[in-house]
Structure formats: structure tokens, C-alpha cells
A and B are shown apart, each in its own frame.
Chain A
Amino acid sequence: MPTAPVPTPTPDKEDAVTPSFRLPTAAGTPYLFLLPGLVILGALLSVPLYKVVEYSLYDNVIVERNPTFVGLDNYRDILGDPGYWSAGFNTIVFTVGSVIGHMIVGIGLALLVNADIHPRARTFFRSMLVLPWIFTAVVVALNWQLLLNPFGLLNYVLDWLGLITEPLDWLGNPDLAMWSLLVISTWRGYPFIMVSFLSGLQTVPKELYEAAEIDGAGFWHKFWHVTLPQLKPVIFGVALLDLIWTFQLFPLVWLTTGGGPGRATEVLSTLTFRLAFVDFEFARAATVAVSILIISAAFTVLYLRNEARRL
């Protein structure tokens, strides 16, 4: 799923929605408004979630009319497969590396854009810096394949700076591919953090900064002792959201490296896709997909606990 921006932070509800007035409620009115949305979402989620678990307990699903029930055999196979564990390890490296990259670049740029500059300039830089987020993954992948090509621009610049002696195959070398992927993923994903952090910054009361300034606090002091503590819930929330989404990310990895070279950048999502649509082993694909679901569910519970406090 392409990462969506966090909607602009909901202003304090008490202020906007005065409790004094209630719309006239006939029996079931609110439910009627919610019905179409909840029915569609319910159907679009319950059916596949039930099905994916079912698939994982059978053999030869989808390709054969009468698949055989095999119980937990698929799980035993998958858990005994070193390919699964190496994809799992790559997924952790990719996810953690991406989230760290997004946070550092995103928060850094948000602070820079939020600095004391002309509002027009701020709007301009903000729009430009959001650009990496709005392109489709294929375009991102092609752009970076051009730049990271052995004959591409990055090698030219590094050579010119005297940092390398011979061209490097950034995406084709198994030792470099994951690092390159992390750079691409950081470029692609930082705007989400930047925009969220930027709108969070607007909610920090000015008085706190003024008080800190009177005490003679410099930029870093204010950042560590005012900004970060104030925005801790926001940071925690977006980092978790980013983690959940990056963990299951498919298009960017598939289109830049295809999981290669060899299996150097194979993650759980590309493994699932490969099992299903290259090897036509839908049952084993479903089994890996269930394992992805279980891990995301754990993080989702963590995220919801954080969100539920704000509802």
C-alpha cells in the first residue's frame, strides 16, 4: 500500500464540537450513515482474512479444484526453509533501516523548513521536498536504476570526488544492494514523516520556546527539551505507522531489485509474491502471508493503544 499522509491533526475536539447541541436522532440514524462504509470494509477484510488462513491449511489451492487438507504442514515447511528465515532477516533490516532513515531525514527537514524564513519560501520548499512521495513506485525505481547504474551519475560524481577508483554496481552487488535499497526507501518515505512532524510542530505552544529562550537555551537545547518531549506521542505514532507499512512494502523492493541479486534483498512480501505468482504455490504463499499478518497485528495492537488514548 502506498503510504498515505497522516491527515492533518484533528484539533482538540472539545473546542470544535460543542457538546451543547445534538442532531435529532431517530432510532438507528448514526448506524445508517455508517452502514455502507462498514459493510463494504467488513466484507473486503473478513472474507480474505478467513480465506488466507484457510488456504494456508490446504495444498494446491486455487490451481486445483479440490485441494487437500494438510493441517499445519505448510507452516512446518515454511519454518524449516532457510529461504524464509533469510527473507525474514532482510525484512527486519529493510524495515528498521528505512524507518530510521525516514525519521532522521524527515525530522531534520521538517525543522529546516520550519525555520524562520519567508512564508512563501516555506511553501515552496515544502512542496518540493514532498515530491518523492507522490510518484508511483515504478517511476521511483526507474529513476534510481538510472542514477545507480554502474555507468550512472552517482559513480561519476563519486569518481570525480575521488571517493571510488572503479565503478560500483550499487544494485547488482549483493553486498551493496540492501544499502542502496535503504537509500532509495529513505528518499521515498521521508516526506511522510516530514509532513507529519511539521504539522505536529505547529501544535507546540510558543510560550514553551519563549520560556526556554529566557533561560538562554540554544537550538539543540530547545529541540531536546521542548520539541521532542512535546511531540513524543506524534513521533511514536508515525514511527509505528511507518514501521507497519514498511514491513509489508512490496512495490519498491520488487521493482528496484526484484529481491536480488540472488536473494540478497528478498523480503517477506516479495517472497509471498514469488511463491504465488511465479511458482504458483498459493498455499505456501498464503502461509507466508499469514506470518506477515501475525507480525503486523502485534505492531497494530501497539499502535491502536497509542491511538485509542486520543479518540
Chain B
Amino acid sequence: MTDAAAPRHVVDEERQRRWRQAAIYAALALVTFVMVFPVLWMISVSLKPTTETFSLPPRLLPDDLHWGGYAKVLTDPKFRTFLLNSYLVGLAVTGLSLVIGTLAAFGFSRYRFFGDRVAKLFVITTQMVPTITLLIPYFGVIVFLGLYDTLWGLVLTYLTFSLPYAIIMMNGYLDTIPKDFDEAATIDGCTPLGVLVRVLLPVALPGIISTAVYTFLLAWNEFLFALALTRSMDMRTVPVGISMMVGEFGLKWDEMMAFSVIGSLPVLILFMLVQRFVVSGLAAGGVKG
């Protein structure tokens, strides 16, 4: 390993460094296990019959995997409706936020104009308005507009938090692209919109993807509006669906955890895929033209 001819203090230092690294790895492994444990336990409980949920001593994996919870949840059309609703709302919110948000972000990133600072502060401020304060009047307004118990009501109200988020994120990404790109494209005859669509968006793709994933995640996980602004089983989303299983089934932990796992998978998968883009997005920002 270390060269035998190396001076003694170098060997000592190298040894010390290895010990320190081993300690860091051990600490990280331990902490990560503790932090991830609740998630592992959820999967474990979803694979045990309810009679074994609390059996002692606890076991992470039972001898016979019990797929009954998953079978029950996957064959019940009700759960398919929850998933479908969550996808529809998530995709609509993500699409709208990205298009409208990118246009606004382009305005902020590429122009200096009267009121730009105030407009930017306004967008940031909208993220601070308490959701619970908005809920009471939204309830009145959504009922008034005839959007109560519809997915459109959810899409509309979700924009209050997804849109400012998309604007701020995209503004950050567009700011990392040098203006030389704009200049070259303009000389080639592009209009400002052309600069955005043909030149900046392809370069900002990692940023767009991670913004899209985070926006989708916000919409998919939202609970308060979904709970208060819908009523029928046909309009419920995944989080509200799961919360209603608690009252409905009492203590069917296998089914509740099975649906929790299934309901978390889309964001989990998206998030794992996007990790790469987040990192490369950071790297792109660091290199800068």
C-alpha cells in the first residue's frame, strides 16, 4: 500500500487519513440507516399480514412475503382512480407552470425594465403566503366558480405555489446561460421568443427537467387543498386517498402501507432519475461560458 521507503511521518499521516475516512464512512452509514429506516419499515409492513405488523421480535423481512396488501390495492378500481387523478393534476400543473413560468423567467433574466425588482419581489412573496390563509377564501371562490369537487379547482389553486417556484428556478437556470448565445442567435435573425425557444431552452434542458420534477412532486404531494376542495371518491388524489384508508379500514396496515409504497413510487422514481440532472445542472452553472 504505502511505499516502504516513504518517510515515517508521511506513512503516519496517510494512516491517520484512512482512519478518519473510515470513521466518516461508518458515521454516514449509521446515520443514513437511521434516517432511511422509517421508509424500510413501511416496505416491511406492507409485506406482512396485519397479524404480524406488531409481532415481536420485529423482523425486517418475514419468511413468507405477503403480497395480499398489494393485490388488494392493485385490483380495487378506487385506488386506480386516486392514482389517475394525481397524475392528471400533477401533469397539468407541471405543464402550465413550466410554460408560463419559463416565459416570466425569461423576462426577468434577459431584460431590465421599469418595476423589475418589485415584480421579482412579488413573485418571491407569493411563496410566503400561508396556504391555510388562502384555503378559506379559495373554498368560497371555488364553490362560486362551480369548480368545487373538480380536478380543475385543484389545478388552478396549485398554481399559487407551483408557479412562483417554477419562475424562480427557471430564472436561476437562465441566468447561468451567457448572453453571447442571445447575441449570436439575434444576429442570425431570431426574435426574442426565438432566442428563448431555439437557443436557451435546449441549453437549459437539465434545469427544465429538474424544475418539472420538483413541480410535479409538489403537486403530487399536496394535501390541504385536495382535502378541502374535493368531496367525492372520484375526485380524490393519492394523499387524500391514503388518509381516508385510515378511517375506512381501521387497522389494515398491510393495505395502507402497500398503497403508501405504490403512491410514493412515481415521485421516488422521478427523483432518483433527476439526481443526475441536478448534479449536471450544478456543474453547468459552475463552468459558465
Contact = CB atoms under 8 A, between A and B. Distances in A.
A255 B223 contact: yes
Interface stretch (A143-151, A172-180, A227-235): A143-151
A139 to B, nearest CB: 5
Query: Interface on chain B toward A: helix, strand, loop, or mixed SS?
Result: helix
A45 to B, nearest CB: 6
Interface string A242-273: 00100110110001000000000000110011
B214 A296 contact: no
Contacts of B271: 130, 134
Contacts of A8: 172, 278, 281-282, 285
B272 A139 contact: no
A307 interface: yes
B176 A16 contact: yes
Query: Interface on chain A toward B: helix, strand, loop, or mixed SS?
Result: helix
B213 to A, nearest CB: 10
A304 B125 contact: yes
A16 B38 contact: no
A102 to B, nearest CB: 13
Interface string B144-185: 000000000000110111011101110110011111101100
Interface stretch (A26-34, A78-86, A209-217): A26-34
Contacts of B61: none
B41 A147 contact: yes
Interface in B174-218: 175-180, 182-183, 186, 192, 195, 214, 217-218
Contacts of B83: none
Contact of A146 (B42, B107, B159): B42
Interface stretch (A69-77, A93-101, A110-118): A110-118
Contacts of A285: 136
A311 B117 contact: yes
B7 interface: no
Contacts, number: 312
A51 B137 contact: yes
B108 A34 contact: yes
A168 interface: no
B250 interface: no
Interface residues of B, number: 115
A4 B126 contact: no
A117 B24 contact: yes
A212 B257 CA distance: 50
B39 interface: yes
A25 B224 contact: no
Given A51-B140, A132-B35, A10 B224 contact: no
A277 interface: yes
Contacts of B35: 128-129, 131-132, 187
Contacts of B120: 311
B109 interface: yes
Contacts of A34: 103-104, 107-108, 119
Interface in B251-285: 253, 256-257, 260, 263-264, 267-268, 271-272, 275, 278-279, 281-282, 285
Per CB-CB distance, the 6 closest pairs between chain A and chain B, nearest first, are A33-B107, A37-B104, A51-B137, A248-B130, A30-B111, A48-B137
